[in-house]
């Protein structure tokens, strides 16, 4: 891979400039105002794929935003790697907290990245990360060192649940056939800790509504005598965890696959500093399920969280009112074994069952997805471990993440292949938040490491 690495060194600055072009387009999948920007981003991604040397580059229609596809098949007898990523990004809100424009990428030095970090929405999640694959591919092609076949599939709806991607995968099994799926859309444990994400959590998401009186009422004339939907909703939400931090939804833990003591001991080796953790996000103390440490609570254990809650009067000053209704968005992060549809149903039944007779409760399920585990004895994991160990100069370790990439479990079901999560982000990238950034070091480390994954996977 010497010629490939030389090519990367010689073209470093251009790679960054090209990424900036992608980052300047506000590809926000959640907001229909950006439909043209979404299509422009797909087109630009396709153009970059073509320039990098891919064949049969296509912008494939789906019921939602298109999937960008491209491939390089050098020999049917060699293994095929399918690279997956997403060109859509989260909305940049709240805008006033950005120190520079979310779609005006700039490089700024930070404490963690003295050599600079790219500040822009999508820099780490996921444009900066999938772009590493395009450039690593370009380098291997230009150097004449591509060791196996590769297919690219970059979608535009990950941040809104990948709801149309399932059909695309089912309808294109042949086209997408592969030996392993390679994804850079996760993080490292720390900048100097080569580490591979071996687990993702699943997701179940439900919106709930508690309705009381038909209209907002005077809280003096009616207060104390009629149900207040916000009080009731808060009380119901309060009942969803017990005093040990366990979720009380009946049957919630039934299918959870518990980790063995060995696996938990392995996890405990991942470096973690509680004081730093608290300081980095400004909390006075941690909390969570009894019997598990922080790193388990946020990765191998299922959760239930309110993501938003509203109702009544929230404007300036005081308005005395008993609201007519209250609503909340509730997410459950799931772990392997748990089925999102079953959990959603259990939740809805349970939530309705704890409602007092005085109110009407309705539930509305949203998108979901299953969790995922990559066995550390799989071919893909071993090749990734070898590649990262090589480019960092120390042994890569496995860890489980708490985030979700819903399509990964479906890939395994539909295509029968494992996904390797070769992510180069950091928790400090603050993806989805204002001032999202991606270390320049991380960007180049990814481009440098990917060709070795190709090499070691092809050799195995």
Name the H helices within 311-420.
Answer: 340-353, 379-392, 407-415
Identify whether 126 is preceded by a cis peptide bond (ω within 30 of 0).
yes
138 CB burial (10 A radius; 0-12, 13-18, 19+): buried
CA distance 345 to 371: 17
* Residue 157 binds Mn ion, judged by CB under 5 A: no
- 88 forms part of the interface with Mn ion (CB under 5 A): no
CB of 87 to Mn ion, least distance (A): 10
Tell me the closest approach of the beta carbon of residue 107 to ligand BES, in angstroms: 22
Q: Is 448 near Mn ion (CB under 5 A)?
A: no
448 is in the binding site of which of Mn ion, ligand BES, none (Cβ under 5 to 8 A by kind)?
none
- Closer to Mn ion by CB, 71 or 126: give it: 126
Nearer CB in complex with ligand BES: 148/422:
422
Radius of gyration of the chain (CA): 24
Question: Does 126 help bind Mn ion (rule: CB under 5 A)?
Answer: yes
Residue 375 main-chain phi, psi, to 5 deg: -65, 140
Q: Which is nearer to Mn ion, 125 or 179 (CB)?
A: 125
Shortest distance in whole angstroms from residue 241 CB to ligand BES:
20
Where are the alpha helices (H) located in 172-247, listed in sequence order? 173-176, 229-238
Please choose which of Mn ion, ligand BES, none residue 187 contacts, taking the beta carbon within 5 to 8 angstroms, the exact cut-off set by kind.
Answer: ligand BES
Query: Which residues would be at the binding site for ligand BES (CB under 6 A)?
Result: 125-126, 158-159, 161, 185-187, 200, 203, 367, 401, 403-406
Among 18, 88, 155, 185, binds Mn ion (CB under 5 A): 185
Give me the phi and psi of 116, to 5 degrees please: 115, 150
Q: How far is the CB of 314 from ligand BES (least distance, A)?
A: 25
Return the range that interacts with Mn ion (CB under 5 A); candidates 180-188, 199-207, 285-293, 300-308. Answer: 180-188
The residue assigned the tokens 């399509």 is 407
Shortest distance, position 105 Cβ to Mn ion, whole Å: 17
DSSP per-residue string spanning 116-161: -EEESTTTTTTHHHHHHHHHHHHHHHHTT---SEEEEEEES-GGGT
Q: Report the C-alpha gap between 62 and 157 in whole angstroms.
A: 10
Q: Where are the beta strands (DSSP E) in 239-376?
A: 303-311, 321-322, 325-334, 360-365, 372-373
Partner whose footprint covers residue 124, from ligand BES, Mn ion, none (CB < 5 to 8 Å by kind): none
Nearest distance from C-beta of residue 93 to ligand BES, angstroms: 15
Q: How far is the CB of 210 from Mn ion (least distance, A)?
A: 30
Cβ neighbours, 10 Å, residue 430? 15
**Which option in Mn ion, ligand BES, none does residue 401 bind, with CB closer than 5 to 8 A by kind?**
ligand BES
The residue within the footprint of Mn ion, chosen from 71, 125, 138, 436 (CB under 5 A), is 125
Q: Decide: 414 and 169 in contact? Cβ < 8 Å.
A: yes
Residue in 212, 426, 191, 216 with CA at minimum distance from that of residue 321: 216
Our CB check for ligand BES shows the closer of 229 and 406 to be 406
């Amino acid at each position: 891979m010497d010629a490939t690495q030389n090519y990367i060194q010689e073209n470093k600055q251009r790679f960054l400039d090209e990424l900036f072009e992608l980052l300047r387009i506000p590809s926000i999948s959640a907001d229909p105002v950006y439909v043209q920007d979404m299509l422009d981003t797909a087109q630009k991604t396709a153009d970059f794929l073509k320039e990098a040397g891919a064949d049969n580059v296509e912008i494939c229609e789906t019921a939602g935003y298109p999937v960008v596809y491209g491939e390089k098949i050098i020999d049917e007898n060699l293994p095929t790697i399918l690279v997956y990523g997403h060109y859509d990004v989260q909305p940049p809100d709240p805008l006033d907290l950005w120190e520079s424009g979310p779609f005006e990428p700039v490089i700024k030095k930070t404490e963690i990245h003295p050599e600079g970090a790219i500040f822009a929405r999508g820099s780490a999640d996921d444009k900066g990360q999938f772009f590493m694959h395009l450039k690593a591919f370009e380098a291997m092609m230009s150097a004449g060192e591509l060791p196996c076949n590769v297919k690219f599939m970059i979608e535009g709806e990950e941040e809104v649940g990948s709801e149309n991607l399932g059909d695309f995968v089912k309808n294109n099994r042949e086209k997408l056939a592969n030996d392993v799926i390679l994804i850079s859309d996760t993080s490292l444990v720390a900048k100097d800790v080569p580490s591979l994400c071996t687990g993702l959590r699943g997701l179940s998401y439900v919106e709930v509504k508690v309705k009381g009186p038909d209209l907002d009422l005077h809280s003096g004339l009616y207060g104390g005598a009629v149900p207040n939907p916000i009080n009731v909703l808060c009380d119901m939400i309060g009942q969803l965890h017990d005093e040990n931090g366990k979720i009380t939804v009946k049957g919630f833990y039934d299918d959870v696959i518990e980790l063995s003591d060995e696996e938990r001991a392995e996890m405990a080796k991942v470096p973690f500093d509680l004081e730093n953790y608290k300081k980095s996000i400004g909390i006075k103390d941690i909390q969570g399920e009894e019997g598990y440490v922080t790193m388990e609570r946020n990765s191998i254990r299922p959760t239930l969280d309110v993501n938003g809650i509203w109702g009544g009067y929230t404007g300036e000053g005081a308005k005395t009112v008993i609201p007519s209704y209250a609503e909340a968005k509730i997410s459950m992060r799931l772990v392997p074994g748990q089925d999102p549809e079953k959990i959603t149903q259990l939740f809805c039944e349970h939530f309705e069952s704890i409602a007092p007779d005085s109110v009407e409760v309705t539930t509305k399920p949203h998108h979901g997805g299953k969790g995922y585990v990559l066995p550390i004895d799989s071919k893909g994991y071993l090749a990734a471990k070898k590649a990262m160990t090589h480019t960092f100069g120390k042994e890569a370790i496995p860890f489980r993440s708490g985030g979700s990439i819903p399509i990964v479990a479906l890939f395994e079901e539909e295509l029968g292949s494992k996904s390797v999560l070769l992510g180069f982000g950091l928790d400090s990238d603050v993806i989805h938040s204002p001032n999202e950034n991606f270390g320049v070091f991380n960007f180049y480390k990814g481009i440098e490491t990917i060709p070795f994954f190709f090499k070691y996977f092809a050799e195995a």
